[in-house]
Structure 1
Amino acid sequence: MSKPITKLPYFLGAESEAKEAYRTIIDQTVEAITSSVTDTGAYKGAGVDELQSLMGQTTILPQAGTGWDAVLEEVKKTILPNFLRTWSTNYMAHLHSPALLESIASELILSTFNQSMDSWDQSPIATEVEVAVVNELCKLYNFGTDSDGVFTSGGSQSNLSALTLARDWYCNTVLGHDVKKKGLPSCYQRLRIYTSEVSHFSMEKSAHLLGLGYDAVRKVPVDALCRMDMHALKTMLSDDLKEGLLPFCIVATIGTTDYGSIDPVAQLRALCDAYNLYLHADAAYGSGVQLSQTYQSRLGNLGLCDSITVDFHKMFLLPISCGALLIKDKSQFDVFTLHADYLNREEDEEDGYTNLVGKSLQTTRRFDALKVWMAFQCRGKDGFASIIDTCIGNAAYLAQAILSDNQFELAIAPELSSVVFRLSGSCEKNKQVRRELLHHHQVVIGQTVYQGRTYLKFTLLNPLVTHQHLDELLSLIKKLGSQVQ
């Protein structure tokens, strides 16, 4: 058993006392975490009032610090018992995955060394690792030698970055206007983005931040499988052009948040070529399927896109946050480049030093590429393919089980690993069942709206889920539903 730490050093260093304190803190934390895991449930069930009461009893910033040992005891009492257990096979509410063990080890490494990914002299080996991982990703998604990419905090930041590139590309090449220097053109209120009506809400948020507003986002109707309706899109483009509007970008969703539906990339590329539009793929959900030989064809050829959002904290099972934006034409990153004498000096870059700040919306940025570097080498293509095949196979099994039971209704056949369904009956019944599972059965599932009615959702990102477990959960849902008045 570790000795109590009487005086906590500030940092890890070369001194034996600092090393011992570091080792002790990590060992004690690991012991506290593992001791807190006593069952297979996803959540102990505490409600909002109970958790807010716990926080009300804590002095967040005392006059004098209580020391490490007291803080750890408070964490063991207040925090650890009330965490959501993302590794539980009872957790399937959102695109929120468990974290592979090797990626947790990488989090310890990158947090300990605390590199900042803006300039080479703040992150020497980290910069080179990110460059190497980005190059590998560009090959994986069929981008050519002129491509590039950058790590981001996740899908929303990747999509915002991509739409910024798309806007500036259109303004420069079509309108002859430099947004970077002069701001938005006078016709900015006529610029339009086209995306599925069930696409991620970061499209509207990005349009707001880009000064275009929500009205710039044209939400395209979807077909019976919740994919963008190509006929409706063509009609909208034609009508908008007649109205004097300026279409500049189409966003293909490669795995919608609720349904996992996939927009047809090849058809969208042809349309973009015909209308001189930028094509972005929001593949935050579906990007991991590129590693599956069994299901990769469902994505289409993402190399046809001008940019791709990739998220590693979804189907790749890496810790939050970890995303990337890949672009086919690396020169477009000039949009984000601005040199500062204190950071990314031009003479350094001329001598071969890579300063990644020139590709990112962020300045200070975490070394998230290490998680991908370690996990890719640890698991390999076959390991990730097995994970993804299992999860998509589980979704297909669950959908079939739902279809064969007249007490359930299935929204659509899943393309990825999300299954949206409901108990036959009232919307209120389905809402109550989800709450009952959350607070009294340690089961956390999702809820959404499909065709105006409340539906339940299983987002299957855990390869340890079995068919038997899915059958048991369906039985439990039916039992709880029968008890709702």
Structure 2
Amino acid sequence: MSTHTDKLPYFLGFDARSKDAYRSIIDQTVQAVTDSVTDTGAYKGASVEELQNLMEAATILPQQGCGWEAVLDEVKRTILPNFLRTWSTNYMAHLHSPALLESIASELILSTFNQSMDSWDQSPIATEVEVAVVSELCKLYRLGDDADGVFTSGGSQSNLSALTFARDWYCNTVLGHDVKKKGLPSCYQKLRLYTSEVSHFSMEKSAHLLGLGYDAVRKVPVDNLCRMDVNALKAMLAEDTEQGLLPFCVVATIGTTDYGSVDPVDTLRELCDRYNIYLHADAAYGSGVQMSSTYQDRLGNLGLCDSITVDFHKMFLLPISCGAILIKDRSLFEVFTLHADYLNREEDEEAGYTNLVGKSLQTTRRFDALKVWMAFQCRGKDGFASIIDTCIENAAYLAQAISSNDRFELAIAPELSSVVFRLKGSCEKNKQVRRELLHHHQVVIGQTVYQGRTYLKFTLLNPMVTHQHLDELLVLIEKLGNLIQ
């Protein structure tokens, strides 16, 4: 029986028919996307119930396919109008950036060719691109000649990788125990990881997955700028060591999720050396600031760290997903190395073929390095510096505007591009203002808790945001606050 799907080739190939179909589908999709952008809003405002009703009415898996044209029509009707528009200057809720145009083009290329980054024979040029990009990143962050890295899905996977390196390094070098072969040592319940009380929740997740549990994570108090309190850490390390516990890693957060605060890596390096423990930098947020000659010093010397989490789908403005874990000592990747006859044969590697599966938690993996390769060449370091500088300076401007308005309270002065503040009054008022902006004004901002009270948050990753627009949003928030009792 013939169906609509018979008319559509399966893949792009060398024949004219498949090339025409590929070109037509891409062209029609581009037209549909651009036609859907009719205003500057970040979200059309549909409620949870409205979107759920749309999906309940849809037939997800019909007995017979309805064909490309019908599917595109349904996408235009139900999906495109209800997308969040990350490029809108009214979107500033999360560390969730707009995507640079050249990186969208790279997504088309890497999805079309669908390389798998586990073995060289599945990704020949893609492997060499990733190796070259990682080498450049290691130079950018001053990690030294023995450094290496691999691309990841983002900060959580990078942090899990880093804490695996830290655990195994400590067990091997300090305890003389090979976790890879023998599992956790008998004293595993004594292992302790130190991170600030406002660090990313992937620390607890990673501790769980590594068999250490949440109790292994020691949350260090922060100072009045939400940076790790080094004196508190010193006291905790001394106390824990005296009690026979085993500190194995400190995580410096280089840009906390809510506040953009930066822990002092230089001082933390000294402490880690004193106690012979691993120092990891979770720079998922702040890593992009390394591009800025003006603000780079705010990060400290990340080259002092044993590993660094880098995210490109935050301040670098690349599409999700795109991250990397960089390490100072490439030999630590032995943690993930395991040979399979069908995949990363030892004789191939001895002959010079690079099989990246030996450096990754993942086996099948996307060619995300292409996005970085294309964007870096397209914009250059100066281009990224301009983006970063604009966002940091917008945050400083907004913080000053908030501080000079007695209707608002500022949580802390921003170090990067996040501004946490509130309308004076009840927590409920601030919650209602955020919902009103989301559903009735096409403005999407964040919400968090600071010192036990509800605060609003602007995460400024879009260099197209102007000071005038920030002023207008503050006026709107103040107006909405006046209407809520």
Cα distance in structure 2, aligned partners of 1:336 and 1:442: 45
Bigger shift: 442-451 or 233-242?
Answer: 233-242
Partner of 2:426: 426
Residue 94 of structure 2 aligns with an amino acid whose one-letter code is H
Residue 259 of structure 1 aligns with an amino acid whose one-letter code is Y
CA offsets 1:307-331 (integer angstroms, 9 cap, x no match) = 0000000000000000000000000
Cα distance in structure 1, aligned partners of 2:430 and 2:215: 33
Contact 1:5 1:69 in 2 (8 A): no
Residue 41 of structure 2 aligns with an amino acid whose one-letter code is G
How far off its partner does 1:244 sit? Answer: 1.1
Residue 121 of structure 1 aligns with an amino acid whose one-letter code is D
Partner of 1:300: 300
How far off its partner does 1:140 sit? Answer: 0.1
Residue 69 of structure 1 aligns with an amino acid whose one-letter code is E
Partner of 1:182: 182
How far off its partner does 1:5 sit? Answer: 8.9
CA offsets 1:62-107 (integer angstroms, 9 cap, x no match) = 0000110000000000000000000000000000000000000000
How far off its partner does 1:144 sit? Answer: 0.8
How far off its partner does 1:409 sit? Answer: 0.1
Partner of 1:213: 213
Cα distance in structure 1, aligned partners of 2:82 and 2:310: 30
Residues 216-365 of structure 1 mapped to structure 2, 5 A cutoff: 216-365=216-365
Partner of 1:197: 197
Percent identity for Structure 1 against Structure 2: 86
Cα distance in structure 2, aligned partners of 1:97 and 1:176: 44
Partner of 1:450: 450
CA offsets 1:193-217 (integer angstroms, 9 cap, x no match) = 0000000000000000000000100
Partner of 1:171: 171
Bigger shift: 238-247 or 327-336?
Answer: 238-247
Question: Quick check: 1:157 aligned with 2:165?
Answer: no
Cα distance in structure 1, aligned partners of 2:395 and 2:12: 45
Question: Quick check: 1:10 aligned with 2:4?
Answer: no
How far off its partner does 1:232 sit? Answer: 0.4
Cα distance in structure 2, aligned partners of 1:213 and 1:135: 34
Change (3 A) 1:177 1:5: closer
Residue 348 of structure 1 aligns with an amino acid whose one-letter code is D
Residue 31 of structure 2 aligns with an amino acid whose one-letter code is E
How far off its partner does 1:243 sit? Answer: 1.4
Residue 211 of structure 1 aligns with an amino acid whose one-letter code is G
CA offsets 1:194-250 (integer angstroms, 9 cap, x no match) = 000000000000000000000100000000000000010000011111111100000
Cα distance in structure 2, aligned partners of 1:459 and 1:380: 24
Change (3 A) 1:436 1:409: same
CA offsets 1:300-353 (integer angstroms, 9 cap, x no match) = 000000000000000000000000000000000000000000000000000000
Residue 482 of structure 2 aligns with an amino acid whose one-letter code is S
Partner of 2:107: 107
Question: Quick check: 1:398 aligned with 2:398?
Answer: yes
Cα distance in structure 1, aligned partners of 2:102 and 2:290: 21
How far off its partner does 1:6 sit? Answer: 7.0
Q: Name segments (4+ residues, structure 1) moved above 3 Å.
A: none
Aligned residue pair count: 482
CA offsets 1:438-483 (integer angstroms, 9 cap, x no match) = 0000000000000000000000000000000000000000000000
Partner of 1:414: 414
Residue 376 of structure 2 aligns with an amino acid whose one-letter code is F
SS at match of 1:474: helix
RMSD between superposed Cα atoms in Å:
0.8
SS at match of 1:461: coil
Cα distance in structure 2, aligned partners of 1:174 and 1:302: 24
Question: Quick check: 1:74 aligned with 2:66?
Answer: no
Question: Quick check: 1:484 aligned with 2:471?
Answer: no
Cα distance in structure 1, aligned partners of 2:205 and 2:382: 37
SS at match of 2:7: coil
Contact 2:5 2:65 in 1 (8 A): no
CA offsets 1:112-159 (integer angstroms, 9 cap, x no match) = 000000000000000000000000000000011100000000000000
Partner of 1:51: 51
Partner of 1:441: 441
Residue 265 of structure 2 aligns with an amino acid whose one-letter code is V
Cα distance in structure 2, aligned partners of 1:5 and 1:480: 51
Contact 2:264 2:300 in 1 (8 A): yes
Partner of 1:120: 120
SS at match of 1:320: coil
Cα distance in structure 2, aligned partners of 1:249 and 1:453: 32
Partner of 2:88: 88
Partner of 1:466: 466
Cα distance in structure 2, aligned partners of 1:245 and 1:455: 37
Long gaps (5+) in structure 2: none
SS at match of 1:79: helix
CA offsets 1:393-424 (integer angstroms, 9 cap, x no match) = 00000000000000000000000000000000
Contact 2:5 2:66 in 1 (8 A): no
SS at match of 1:458: strand
TM-score normalised according to structure 2 size: 0.99
How far off its partner does 1:9 sit? Answer: 0.5
Residue 206 of structure 1 aligns with an amino acid whose one-letter code is S
Contact 1:92 1:461 in 2 (8 A): yes
Contact 2:262 2:415 in 1 (8 A): yes
Residue 274 of structure 1 aligns with an amino acid whose one-letter code is R
Residue 68 of structure 1 aligns with an amino acid whose one-letter code is W
Partner of 2:141: 141
Residue 280 of structure 2 aligns with an amino acid whose one-letter code is H
TM-score normalised according to structure 1 size: 0.99
Cα distance in structure 2, aligned partners of 1:133 and 1:230: 34
Residue 322 of structure 1 aligns with an amino acid whose one-letter code is C
Contact 1:138 1:144 in 2 (8 A): yes
How far off its partner does 1:46 sit? Answer: 0.4
Cα distance in structure 1, aligned partners of 2:66 and 2:211: 47
Contact 1:5 1:21 in 2 (8 A): no
Cα distance in structure 2, aligned partners of 1:93 and 1:6: 44
How far off its partner does 1:53 sit? Answer: 0.2
